[in-house]
Amino acid sequence: MMKRIYFLMALLLPFLNSNAKDMIDGHEYVDLGLPSGRLWATCNVGAEEPTEAGSYFAWGETQPKKQYTDENYKFNGKVEYDMDHHPYCKDITKYCSDSTMGKVDSLSVLEDEDDAATANWGKAWRMPTIDELKELKEGCRWVCCLNDSGERIAGWIGTSLVNEKAIFLPVSDKNEHWSVFKGGYWSSSYAGGKDFKPSYYLNCTKYNQAGFLNLNDFMTIHEYWRSYGLSVRAVVR
């Protein structure tokens, strides 16, 4: 019964915020009273409602794709294959800190032309940095919402510790392609490193090794493969 209640809470989220029509360039935001003053979108990029997953993007790309692979990644100059015939990027053309992986540059945050939020919603919006994702996580009380069957996470409701306003981060249970990460939210921050996953993201789906929900270790920050498709939740500049 509680599982169904949590799911219904997500559906009722628009009624939890008194400022439900605060808009910039046609997109709604919520002020959670965070220390930075950062305003967060109430929907994912590509979504019309807070409970929709929206579009998925590879890190640094601005359009969704049918498949997300190293071969079709925007900043991949060359693909090679390991001993198991798995492809991997050998020549990164942008956002690279290791000369063995590609051309080194000094970029640590996505430029506007590579920002999925800016490209799709306009200059008033951008992708959050990793510090802003951490602030969002730490600035709210989070409740896990399971889907109607109670078998999977439907998302997380975060209620501000300051003003009680709420935000919902959906976790899609669709399985369009194996390299789409449901419940992962990209930051704009580049982590650096010697492999193909130097891009920070917020993981909103946490399972232990047995496959069960691990609610004691939820919404964690990790590095991830930049060619994979993840969700984007925008912030106001």
pLDDT for the residue 125: 99
Give Cβ neighbours of residue 1 (< 8 Å, ≥ 6 apart).
none
pLDDT for the residue 198: 60
Radius of gyration of the chain (CA): 18
The residues pairing with 141 across neighbouring beta strands, listed in sequence order, are 159
pLDDT for the residue 176: 53
pLDDT for the residue 3: 46
Number of residues written out for the chain: 237
Amino acid (1-letter code) at residue 226 = R
Contact 233, 204 (CB under 8 A): no
DSSP 3-state assignment of 212? coil
pLDDT for the residue 5: 43
pLDDT for the residue 148: 67
Query: In b/e form, how buried is each residue of 31-41, taking b as 16+ CB within 10 angstroms?
Result: bbebeeebbbb
Handedness of CA 126, 90, 96, 201 (dihedral sign): positive
- pLDDT < 70 stretches in the chain: 1-20, 84-89, 147-153, 172-181, 193-198, 205-218
pLDDT for the residue 180: 67
pLDDT for the residue 24: 97
Q: What are phi and psi of 185, to 5 degrees?
A: -125, 120
Q: Return the C-alpha torsion angle 51, 224, 129, 214, nearest 10.
A: 50
Measured CA to CA in angstroms, residue 110 lies from 15, 61, 192, 204 at distances of 34, 10, 13, 22
Model's pTM, two decimal places? 0.85
